[in-house]
């Protein structure tokens, strides 16, 4: 199997094309059917003359990932897709169908994560591997193939699944290049969002290279000591450096920076916290997204802020002039929060092999 050529390995595909004396235009058409129409590999292969079709079918790997589990929410429009990598590791993507007809897809950038945030199921797994560009892009392709029959396509792509995108920076940039290229997926940069634990240098590199790609910062507290308690990496990247990064991003990016703020009872949800947050964000071009905490097994000490506390916090920010939304949580019944379903499946797998 390992001598298969990945469709994402441009040089190898091009070498095969030359070997078959194929017009480059035909391979471009194959990619269009596969990457822009999401019509699947069989339809894509029909773009090639018969002899080349057979060779491509045998030697080119279209899907670096294998779909393992699809789970549809019974309550709302969320679908969770669990994939297996070639190294037999599991990652997940979440499709979110909004009532407006728009569809968003949350993809993973790593197997596990080294950031080890207190509240995050993926962090509890530890870090296993970086996903390569093909593995990230295949999540987009396979999700689109899943919803093709519903007459939907993925409109917004968010790198907010398992992993820290800026710990896998070069591969993420390769993904952005292929997604936005006219000869790639032709997906608008403004409909891509990268969520980060907060690595100022990487945020700026990304902002300079892809000014139209949206950035989200998982801030969760502007009190340095509180942030360090829930996000170990905060020690390396103090809140004042993060603020300076937002100032610089605001100067180069057309869009606002999203501030993600997880609401944890008694940790970061007081009105004083809201006042400090408002002070910190003053004069920045940002919008605040308050996130209800989805309880995870590995963090019994953490609890979600009650709704009235969340609403009061939001009201305080709005009164201070900040655009503030509360994230509508989807897919609670399918373990849709970052890393949750993979963890549950891994536990089952271990329990079965132990038996």
Least distance (Å) between residue 249 CB and ligand SAH: 15
Task: Look at residues 243, 326, 320, 313 and name the one whose alpha carbon lies nearest to residue 284.
Answer: 243
Give the three-class secondary structure for 215: strand
The alpha helices in 182-223, defined as continuous H runs, are 200-209
Among 143, 337, 341, 342, interactor with ligand SAH by CB under 6 A: 337
Give the three-class secondary structure for 93: strand
- How many H-runs (helices) and E-runs (strands) does the chain carry? 13, 14
The H or E element spanning position 96 is strand 90-97
Residue (115 or 137) nearer to ligand SAH, CB = 115
Among 7, 157, 160, 239, interactor with ligand SAH by CB under 6 A: 160
- Owner of token pair 């990945």: 6
Which range binds ligand SAH by CB under 6 A, 41-49, 84-92, 95-103, 292-300? 292-300
The alpha helices in 86-168, defined as continuous H runs, are 121-125, 133-147
Give the interface size with ligand SAH as a residue count (CB under 6 A): 17
Residue (227 or 316) nearer to ligand SAH, CB = 227
Q: Which of 106, 117, 206, 338 is catalytic?
A: 338
Residue 277 per-residue DSSP state: H
Task: Confirm or reject binding of residue 197 to ligand SAH (CB under 6 A).
Answer: yes
Decide: 280 and 239 in contact? Cβ < 8 Å: yes
Among 262, 290, 317, 334, interactor with ligand SAH by CB under 6 A: 262
* x-marked contacts with ligand SAH along 45-64 as a string, rule CB under 6 A: --------------------
The residues, ordered by sequence, that sit 6+ positions from 288 with a Cβ below 8 Å of its Cβ are 258, 259, 261, 277, 281, 317, 322, 323, 324, 325
Among 294, 305, 324, 343, interactor with ligand SAH by CB under 6 A: 294
Which range binds ligand SAH by CB under 6 A, 16-24, 68-76, 201-209, 291-299? 291-299
* x-marked contacts with ligand SAH along 205-244 as a string, rule CB under 6 A: -------------x--------------------------
Decide: 152 and 101 in contact? Cβ < 8 Å: yes
* x-marked contacts with ligand SAH along 106-125 as a string, rule CB under 6 A: ---------x---xx-----
Task: Confirm or reject binding of residue 133 to ligand SAH (CB under 6 A).
Answer: no
Among 135, 164, 273, 335, interactor with ligand SAH by CB under 6 A: 164
- Residue 338 bears catalytic tag: yes
What is the C-alpha separation between 114 and 262, in angstroms, rounded? 19
The H or E element spanning position 90 is strand 90-97
Among 296, 330, 334, 336, interactor with ligand SAH by CB under 6 A: 296
State the chain's maximal CA–CA distance in angstroms: 70
Residue (48 or 175) nearer to ligand SAH, CB = 175
Distance of alpha carbon 34 from the chain centroid? 21
The dihedrals phi and psi of 145, each to the nearest 5 degrees, come to -65, -35
- Residue 42 bears catalytic tag: no
Residue (171 or 218) nearer to ligand SAH, CB = 218
Give the three-class secondary structure for 129: strand
Least distance (Å) between residue 274 CB and ligand SAH: 18
Question: Which parts of this chain interact with ligand SAH (CB under 6 A)?
Answer: 115, 119-120, 160, 164, 195-197, 218, 260, 262, 291, 293-294, 296, 337-338
Active-site residue set: 92, 338
């Amino acid at each position: 199997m390992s001598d298969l050529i990945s469709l994402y390995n441009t040089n190898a595909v091009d070498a095969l094309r030359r070997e078959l004396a194929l017009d480059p235009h035909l391979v471009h058409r194959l990619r269009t059917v596969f990457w822009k129409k999401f019509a699947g590999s069989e339809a894509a292969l029909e773009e090639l003359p018969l002899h080349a079709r057979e060779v491509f079918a045998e030697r080119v790997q279209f899907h670096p990932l294998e779909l393992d589990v699809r789970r549809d929410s019974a309550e709302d429009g969320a679908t969770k897709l669990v994939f297996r990598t070639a190294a037999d590791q599991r990652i997940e993507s979440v499709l979110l169908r909004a009532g407006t007809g728009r569809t968003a897809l949350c993809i993973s950038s790593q197997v596990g994560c080294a950031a080890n945030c207190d509240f995050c199921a993926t962090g509890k797994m530890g870090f296993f591997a970086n996903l390569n560009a093909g593995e990230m892009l295949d999540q987009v392709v396979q999700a689109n193939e899943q919803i093709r029959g519903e007459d939907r396509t993925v409109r917004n792509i968010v790198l907010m699944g398992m992993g820290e995108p800026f710990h896998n920076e070069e591969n993420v940039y390769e993904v952005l290049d292929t997604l936005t290229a006219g000869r790639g997926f032709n997906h608008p940069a403004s409909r891509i969002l990268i969520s980060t634990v907060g690595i100022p240098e990487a945020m700026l590199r990304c902002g300079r290279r892809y000014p139209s790609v949206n950035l989200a910062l998982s801030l969760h507290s502007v009190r340095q000591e509180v942030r360090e308690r829930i996000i170990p990496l905060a020690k390396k990247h103090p809140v004042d450096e993060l603020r300076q990064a937002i100032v610089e991003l605001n100067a180069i990016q057309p869009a606002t920076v999203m501030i993600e703020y997880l609401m944890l009872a008694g940790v970061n949800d007081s009105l004083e916290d809201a006042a400090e947050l408002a002070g910190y964000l003053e004069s920045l071009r940002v919008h605040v997204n308050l996130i209800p905490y989805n309880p995870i097994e590995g963090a019994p000490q953490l609890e979600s802020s009650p709704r009235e506390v969340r609403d009061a916090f939001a009201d305080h920010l709005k009164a201070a002039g900040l655009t503030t939304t509360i994230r509508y949580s989807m897919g609670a019944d399918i373990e849709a929060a970052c890393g949750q379903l993979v963890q549950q499946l891994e536990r089952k797998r271990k329990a079965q092999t132990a038996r």
